[in-house]
Structures are given as C-alpha cells and as structure tokens.
Amino acid sequence: MKTPSTSPTSSTPLRGTQPHCQTCSLNALCLPLSLKDTDMERLDDIIRRGRPIQKGQLLFQQGETFQSVFAVRTGALKTYTLASNGEEQITGFHLASELIGLSGYEADCYPLTAKALETTTVCEIPLPQLDTLADELPDLRKQLMRTMGTEIRHDQNMMLLLSKKNAEERVASFLLDISQRYQRRGFSASHFRLPMSRVDISNYLGLAVETISRVFTRFQNNELIETQGKEIILRDMDALYEMAGLVSSTHCEKHDE
Amino acid sequence: MKTPSTSPTSSTPLRGTQPHCQTCSLNALCLPLSLKDTDMERLDDIIRRGRPIQKGQLLFQQGETFQSVFAVRTGALKTYTLASNGEEQITGFHLASELIGLSGYEADCYPLTAKALETTTVCEIPLPQLDTLADELPDLRKQLMRTMGTEIRHDQNMMLLLSKKNAEERVASFLLDISQRYQRRGFSASHFRLPMSRVDISNYLGLAVETISRVFTRFQNNELIETQGKEIILRDMDALYEMAGLVSSTHCEKHDE
DNA sequence: CGTGGATTTGAATCACCTCAAAGGTCGTGG
DNA sequence: CCACGACCTTTGAGGTGATTCAAATCCACG
C-alpha cells in the first residue's frame, strides 16, 4: 500500500480488460477528443496496447528510429534530451492521457528519451497509420496540431521560467502546473502525489537538488505547502499563484493597457 | 549603405515585383517545400502579401485573436512572451523563409508577440483557408507538422541551453545556430550580420547584456570571432562547436555505446 | 554636430551551486 | 518481522559565475 487512495495514479481505468478508445475514461482528454464515433473506431483499430513498462524502463530512446507516438494510459513518464557531454535535460513529465513522441515528427529518429517514472501502460500509435488517418480525418489532424501547439506553448513557458524566474518562482510554477493537470483529470488540485523524484524536479527546473529541498522546506515553514515524501498538499494556492507569476492563465488574454 | 553586400538581409528576392510562391527563391525552404506545382498554386492563392513593416513594429501581439500564420519573406523578427510582471522572454528569432505563429494553433489568440528587428516583409496565410487546404493537401499537412516538430525540438534545445549551459556555451551555441541558418539560405556560414541587438541576444539566452558583451570581447581576445557592431566573423568555428557542445547534430544520431 | 540609445568596462554583491555529511525511506533477504 | 544496504532527501558551510549598479565610450541618425 505505498500509494494512498488519494493518489491519482492509483486509479487505473480499464485495468484487466481489453481496452478501447470508445470505453476509455480518458478519451475526453486524449487524442480521440472531438472525434466522431466512427472516426474513433478507426483510430482505435490502429492503436496497439502493450504490456506495462516498469519504473526506470525506457519507452523509446533518443536516436532510435521514429516509429510511433504514445498516449499514456496509466502511470507517468519523463522525457529528456541528452547533451553531448552526457548531461540530461528533462523536457517534460507526462501523465495519463498525454501524448508523447510527436516532437520527433519531422525527424527520422526520436529526439529525446522517454523513461517510466512508475509502472506505466501506454497506447502505441504507429506513425504510418496515424499519418494516413490524419489525412482522412480532419478532426484528428486538427487535434494533432493542437497537441503540438500546446507542446510548443509549454516549452516556451519553460524558456521563460528557466530564463527569468528564481528558485521559489520556479517551484511554485511547477507545483501549480502539476496541480492543474491533475485537476483536469478529476483529481484534487491541492492534494496529490508527485510521481517524480526531487532529482527529476531539480533537473527539470534547472536547479540543484539541494535548492529544491530548501525551497520545499521554506514553503512548509511559510505554510504554503505540506510534504510527506512524494505526497504533497498545497495549503495556500493563492500565494503560490502570486509567487509563480500566474494571475490566472499566462497567455491568451486580452491585454488592456 | 548601412548593410554591406555580405549581409544576408541585403538580398531581397522579388523586391518590387508581385511575388508568387512559384517564383519565390525561398520556396525550397518555406512552406511550399515538397508541394506539387498545382498544390503550390492553391497555397499561393490564399497568401496575402502586405506592405513592409518597419523596425520595431508589431506583426501581431500576444492576446490578439489568432487569425493568420506568417512566413518571413525578407528581414527578421523576434517573437517573445510576456510574463505577468511585464518582463519579456524572447522565444525565437525568425529569418527569411521561416514560419511564425503556428504555436497559437490551438488557442484562439496569439500566445506571443512578433516584432520586426528591421524592415521586414511577410506572406500572410489566413488560418481558415490554411486549415481547409491542410485537409486537402496531405503534403502541406505534413509540412506544417514538420514545422511544428522542428519548433518543438528547437525549444527543447533552448531548455537544455538555459538550464545546463554557462554563458560562453550559450553564446557559442547561439552564434552557430544563426550561422547554420544563414548557410541553409546560401549565405556565408562565417561572416554575417546579426539582425538583433545585444539586449535581444541577452534576453534570448537568459543572461545580462553585460555578460554578452564580456563574452564577445573574451571570444575576440581568444581569436574565436571578430565583431564590428552587428557584423560578425566566426574565425574558429571548430572551437565554437566544441564549446557549444555540438559535435555535429545534437539530436537524432544512432547512439552506440 | 549634438543627442539618445546601445555597447563596453569595472567593481561589488548575491542567488544558487558545490561539497560534505547526516537522516530517511524503501525493497530485499534472512 | 526485522536488519541491511542502496538510494533519496535534507541540512549546513563555503565558493563562484553571473548579476547589479555605475560610468565611460561608441554609434546611428536627425
């Protein structure tokens, strides 16, 4: 019983059954979003469901031939790029319903590595079939491009974070980002389990592990959060939003000034 | 005569004529890439060519309704996002033939602002028509997705740069990136004119202006580069590649180890 | 030729990093 | 069930690369 019942990862839709997009509880968040039933069936036909991959295992590796994109069904992964000196930079964490691998679209091989943070199941979508289907189903094509657009905006927000924010602002932004993503999935926005280690967080945020730890402690002393290992409770989300520099949504608001 | 003949920006294809994709010298780099002649004509039909925008003018602004994507015909622009505290983070510089605005695809308004770094002409592609055409021309759809994939990989490289590289490595990476992009366009890889100010470079690289200036002088003292205002000559590209941590191409190589 | 902005240079400061070590946690096997 | 070891997390002390502040110099442009 390592994960308490509050943990989002403990809820695994479709475990043990042969899953289909039509019956998947994530289809309103995932690629089938906005697809008609008949279209969803065609997408469903090309999707391959593999056995779970264990914590620490790779889904694909930087440099391998680009063959498929993946949707996370349960669990969580991190994706990272390798610098030539061997250092890794985590570019994203991926929770259930999120799509991985589209960034390799143009290239013939994956530009990054995907590693499971815990036991994870994914839906594999082979590129050739997806490509064909994208030409035949306008809704799917739009959804793919929307996904890529979202990824670009995420990465550009990270550039701003890495370039302009201090340690506390980075951690606050990170916690709220995770919070929002869990909320979208119907979980608590304030009480959840971080699937990644402190080291992963520090790498992602461009800080030293020790700094993450110190900021967490400081946030606890100021009663902004409570932590117990990977479990975390956001106690003062307003203050965190303030600190993160996110009044509500950072982009796409009418500017009036 | 502010720009010498070596300057890439001094060569303006199609100036003064009513331009078309079919005759544009950039069509092998731009969106029409890999389009059949008949398809290119259909794309050409929906493209609007406006009057030049002057240095400092905005092409579009964060928060405005998302209506069009743009291809740079001549000149250069920067795109940047605004943090809630008003600070701007430059997310990219855009030279001739490059596409701007696709990152807004999902959203209903532009997630960033585009400002001209010099007098610039663009081709405007209204979204509704582009969207329709993308459903009808598989090659165009693929090209759009390739462009977005390239953008994602660029941004993820920037994340690595901002998170892991020191000032010298950042500047070296930046100079080589610009160099490669000019080279693709048929200009010198070692002798070119930087269209952006030092302030813009510093913002983009997540450093203070003073740091950029100091690194430039250090590079000059070590005979890696020569600078004369915005003109720059790369004297020792091997050393710069070494320093940037780019042996050749950073991603997408077979890893053997 | 003068003005305002951009660039360069210098000196002092600081936020975060590195190094070092103590505590915790988790999985494993006796 | 408990002990062990490996790894992760936390805390402390000291160092540093880049920043900030200040000022001189250069440059484009009217």
The answer to the question of residue A12 being in a domain is no
Tokens of B157: 């490289």
Based on the fold, state whether residues A48 and A137 are members of the same structural domain.
yes
Average pLDDT, stretch B241-256? 64
Q: What pLDDT is stored for residue A224 in this prediction?
A: 96
CA A31 to chain centroid: 14
Interchain contact, B106 vs A246, CB within 8 Å: no
Q: What is the pLDDT of residue A17?
A: 55
- Three-point CA angle A227, A231, A237, nearest 5°: 65
Indicate whether A7 pLDDT > 50: no
B56 and B124 part of one domain: yes
Burial A16-53 (b: 16+ CB within 10 A, else e): eeebebeebbbbebbbbbebeeebbebbbeebeeeebb
Whether residue B103 is found in the same domain as residue B178: no
The residue range of the domain holding A238 is 166-244
- Looking at the fold, whether B223 and B114 belong to one and the same domain comes out as no
Longest dimension (CA), chain B: 56
Min Cα–Cα distance to chain A from B103, Å: 5
- From the CA of B71, how many Å to the C1' of D20? 39
Question: What CA–CA distance (Å, rounded) separates B104 from A148?
Answer: 10
Domain end marker among A121, A155, A189: A155
Q: Which has the minimum average pLDDT: A20-29, A102-111, A221-230?
A: A102-111
Picking from A155, A183, A213, the residue at the C-terminal end of a domain is A155
Residue nearest to nucleotide D11 (CA to C1'): A214
Q: Do B84 and A156 touch (CB under 8 A)?
A: no
Is residue B140, in this structure, part of any structural domain at all? Answer: yes
A225, A112 contact by CB (below 8 A)? no
Supply angle C-alpha A157, A254, A34, rounded to 5: 70
Chain D footprint positions (protein CB, under 7 Å): 8-13, 17-22, 27-29
Quick check: B56 CB within 7 A of strand D?
A: no
Q: Reduced to 3 states, what is the DSSP secondary structure of residue A173?
A: helix
B18: Cβ–Cβ under 8 A, 6 or more apart, which residues?
B49
Cα of B207 vs its chain's centroid, Å: 20
Q: What percent of chain A has pLDDT over 90?
A: 80
Answer for A199: CB within 7 Å of strand C. no
Q: Is this model's pTM higher than 0.85 or not? A: yes
* B107 and B56 part of one domain: yes
In chain A, what residues touch B148 (CB-CB under 8 Å)? 105, 145, 148-149, 152
Question: Do residues A85 and A149 both lie within one domain?
Answer: yes
Question: pLDDT at position B251, please?
Answer: 46
Residue at B25 is within a domain = no
- Listing DSSP states for A106-161 in one string gives SSSB-SSEEEESSSBEEEEEEHHHHHHHHHH-HHHHHHHHHHHHHHHHHHHHHHHH
User: How far is the C-alpha of B206 from the C-alpha of B170, rounded, in Å?
Assistant: 9
Q: pLDDT tens for residues A18-73?
A: 689 999 999 999 999 989 999 999 999 999 998 889 999 999 999 999 999 999 99
pLDDT at B17 (0 to 100): 55
Q: Which nucleotides of C are covered by protein (CB under 7 A)?
A: 6-11, 15-20, 25-27
Contacts 24+ apart (CB under 8 A), B220-227: B225/B175
Q: For residue A165, which amino acid is it?
A: K
**Between chains, do A255 and B152 touch, taking CB under 8 Å as contact?**
no
B220 inside domain? yes
Residue B14, token pair as written in the block = 């199609």
Looking at the structure, do residues A102 and A198 belong to the same domain, yes or no? Answer: no
Of how many residues is chain B composed? 257
Which pLDDT belongs to residue A257? 34
Confidence at residue B18, expressed as pLDDT on a 0 to 100 scale:
66
A145 in contact with B at a CB cutoff of 8 Å?
A: yes
**Rounded Cα distance, A93 and A207, in Å:** 16
Whether A119 contacts B74, CB under 8 Å:
no
Q: Is the pLDDT of residue A187 over 60?
A: yes
- Measure, in angstroms, how far nucleotide C14 C1' is from residue B87 CA: 21
Q: Do the Cβ atoms of A111 and B252 come within 8 Å?
A: yes
Angle between helices A138-164 and A167-184 (to 10 degrees): 160
Q: Cβ–Cβ of A131/B142 closer than 8 Å?
A: yes
Same domain, A131 and A56: yes
Mutate to test the interface with A, among B153, B201, B207 (most CBs of A within 10 A): B153
Q: How far is the CA of B216 from the C1' of C9 (A)?
A: 13
CATH number for position A118: 2.60.120.10
Contact call for A162 and B206, based on CB within 8 A: yes
d(CA A28, CA B198): 46
Residue B154 has pLDDT above 90, yes or no: yes
Asked whether the predicted pLDDT for residue B256 surpasses 70, the reply is no
Residues 6+ apart with CB under 8 A from A236: A223, A224, A225
In this predicted structure, the answer to whether residue A4 has a pLDDT above a threshold of 80 is no
Residue B253 inside a domain? The answer is no
User: Of B123, B155, B187, which residue is a domain's last?
Assistant: B155
Same domain, B122 and B78: yes
A28 falls within a domain: no
| Helix or strand run (H / E) with residue A204 | helix A198-205
In a domain, B3, yes or no: no
Alpha helices in A27-103 (DSSP H): 37-46
CA–C1' B45–D13 (A): 68
- Looking at the fold, whether A42 and A106 belong to one and the same domain comes out as yes
**Does A130 score more than 90 pLDDT?**
yes
If you average pLDDT over every residue of chain A, what do you get? 88
Task: Judge contact between A206 and B163, C-beta under 8 A.
Answer: yes
Contact A148, A102 (CB under 8 A): yes
Residue A186 burial by Cβ neighbours in a 10 Å radius (0-12, 13-18, 19+): exposed
**Protein-to-nucleotide distance from the CA of A197 to the C1' of D10, whole angstroms:** 14
B26 touches chain A (CB under 8 A): no
**For strand A77-82 and strand A48-49, is the pairing parallel, antiparallel, or unpaired?**
unpaired
| Cβ-Cβ contacts under 8 Å, A104 against chain B | 149
Closest B-chain CA to A103:
B149
In this structure, are A74 and A170 located in the same domain? Answer: no
Nearest Cα neighbor of B249 from A79, A107, A154 is: A107
A247 reaches B (C-beta below 8 A) = yes
Any strand C atom closer than 7 Å to B209 CB: yes
Look up tokens 């901002």; give the residue. Answer: B162
Whether A118 is covered by a domain: the verdict is yes
A71, β-bridge pairs = A99, A123
Q: What is the DSSP letter of B76?
A: -
Ramachandran region of residue B14, left (φ > 0), alpha (ψ -120 to 50) or beta? Answer: left
Residue A189 has, within 13 A of its CA and on its CB side, a CA count of 10
Which of B 202-241 lie inside 8 A of A, CB atoms? 203, 205-206
The answer to whether some atom of strand C lies closer than 7 Å to the beta carbon of B212 is yes
What confidence tier does B97 reach under pLDDT thresholds 50, 70, 90? very high
Strand D: which of residues 161-180 in chain B lie with Cβ below 7 A? 166-168
- State both tokens at A244: 């993160």
Spatial distance between the Cα atoms of A205 and B163, rounded to a whole number of angstroms: 7
Cα-based distances in Å from A7 to A46, A109, A128, A179, B215 = 31, 35, 36, 12, 48
Question: In chain B, how many domains are there?
Answer: 2
Helix (H) or strand (E) holding A68: strand A68-74
The distance (Å) linking the CA of A155 with the C1' of D19 is 25
CB contacts of A141 in chain B (<8 Å) are 134-135, 141
CATH number at residue B192: 1.10.10.10
Query: CA A162 to CA A19: how far, in whole Å?
Result: 39
Q: Which among B144, B164, B246 has CB closest to A89?
A: B164
**What are the pLDDT digits (tens) for B104-152?**
887 789 999 999 999 999 999 999 999 999 999 999 999 999 999 999 9
- Residues A142, A186 within the same domain: no
**Per-residue confidence at A112, pLDDT binned at 50, 70, 90?**
very high
